[in-house]
Structure 1
Amino acid sequence: MTKEKDPRLAAKGSNSIGGQSYQTEIQRTSGCIQIWMPTFIGDYLKETMMLSTVEHGAYSLLRIAYWQAGGALPDDDEVLRNISKTSSHVWKKIRPKIAKLFSVENGMWKHAQLDQEYARALENKKKNTQRAKNAAEARWR
């Protein structure tokens, strides 16, 4: 999806999840880091072993939305419920357990590990882009 076609990128630094826009601390970028997300299976399973199937699915969808947004999600039950694809009744029941896997700061759900991995992915992307530019310049000298 290009920037022009992605309505979530209409305003610089603004994202829309569940029909609502919000600001992220880590600015969203287009490109390769939006099409993959590292998952460390051992850490993930250790973190989610106490979750039911529904809770696990909701958490996975929230993590994916977090990555796609490039950072924190709004502490808005309607938005989080829509992302997690659960009914209001189910979301109210599972929210406390899911919320423990995030930290809520200034009205936003944050995930320290995803923030670190996203920052690492951005840095790798910058390095690889520069490496490719340097190689192209050297080739055409």
Structure 2
Amino acid sequence: MAALPYMQLYIADYLADTMHLSAEEHGAYLLLMFNYWQTGKPIPKNRLAKIARLTNERWVDVEPSLREFFCDNGDEWMHLRIEEDLASVREKLTKKSAAGKASVQARRSRKEADVQTKQERNLTGVQTDVGVVFEHDAGFALIFPDICYHLTHYKPAAADIPVASDNPAHYADAIRYNARTPLQGSLLPLTRLVWA
């Protein structure tokens, strides 16, 4: 486990529990607690004297006083208060990690949605369902938005389109139809009409 940035030391609790310790025992106890916190796991019994920075002879004198603060599970010494604090910190770190991942996912989704929205917009900034963007008509679209909409969406029914023929009367109908129909490619071809 990576070293944790801080360790809560409840001074009042510490002093109340350790009033009977000598200065040497205080130092050894604090060093054992700090090592426990840094490693995040119980301390092996064969390393206790070394971590407390005591010789084996001095450790024999100090060990009985410090044993009351730890649980001896055979191979290691466990500190219950530090275990509780470690569990709390690990839980907070897990929650922060999950929140960070959720935040990254939300930003990624928002970014993808923005890209998709930009692709759906035409140059006028109006969102449409139209797949074709008339880039050359951008100024025209700003001035005449209704006509632009009509150009892209209006599809006349077949019955509305007059039939062009060689008959001059039909030619007049085609001219009237073309005059009231906006330019959209559905105009009747007037060049077809030839008189004999």
Q: Structure 1 length as normaliser, TM-score?
A: 0.71
Whole-Å separation in 2 of the counterparts to 1:83 and 1:119: 23
Equivalent residue for 2:88, pick from 120, 127, 130: 120
Query: Residue by residue, what CA displacement relative to the aligned partner does 1:111-130 show, whole Å, maximum 9, x if unpaired?
Result: 11111110111111000111
Secondary structure in structure 2 of the residue aligned to 1:109: strand
Match of 1:89 in 2: 57
Matched residues, percent identical?
31
Partner of 2:150: none
Q: Which amino acid aligns with 2:48?
A: L
Query: 1:5-33, CA deviations, whole angstroms, 9 ceiling, x for partnerless residues?
Result: xxxxxxxxxxxxxxxxxxxxxxxx22xx5
Corresponding residue of 1:49: 19
AA partner of residue 47 (structure 1): D
Runs of 4+ aligned structure 1 residues displaced above 3 Å come to none
Instruction: Say yes or no: does 1:36 pair with 2:6.
Output: yes
Q: Could you tell me how far 1:47 is from its partner in structure 2?
A: 1.6
Letter of the 2:43 counterpart: L
Tell me, in whole angstroms, the C-alpha distance in 2 between the residues paired with 1:134 and 1:124.
Answer: 15
Task: Give 1:36 deviation, angstroms.
Answer: 1.7
SS at match of 2:54: coil
Q: Which residue of 2 aligns with 1:71?
A: 41
Q: CA RMSD in A?
A: 1.4
Q: Give the partner amino acid of 1:64.
A: F
The size of the alignment, in residue pairs, is 109
In 1, the alpha carbon distance for the partners of 2:97 and 2:30 equals 30
- Tell me: higher relative CO, structure 1 or 2? Use CA pairs within 8 A at least 6 residues apart: 1
CA offset at residue 110 of structure 1? Answer: 0.8
1:100 aligns with 2:104: no
**One-letter code of the match for 1:82?**
K
| Structure 1 position 58 matched with structure 2 position 58 | no
* Equivalent position of 2:151 in the other structure: none
More helix as a share of residues: 2
The structure with more strand, counted as a fraction of residues:
1
Gaps of 5+ in 1: 1-28
Aligned-partner Cα distance in 2 for 1:85–1:45: 22
- Matched AA of 1:62: L
User: Structure 1 stretch 114-123 or stretch 98-107: which is displaced more?
Assistant: 98-107
Give structure 2 stretches of 5+ with no counterpart: 110-196
> What TM-score comes out, normalization by structure 2 length?
0.52
Deviations along 1:51-81, one digit per CA (max 9) or x if unpaired, are: 11110010000001111221211122xx111
The structure number with the bigger radius of gyration is 2
Point out the more displaced range, 121-130 or 87-96.
87-96
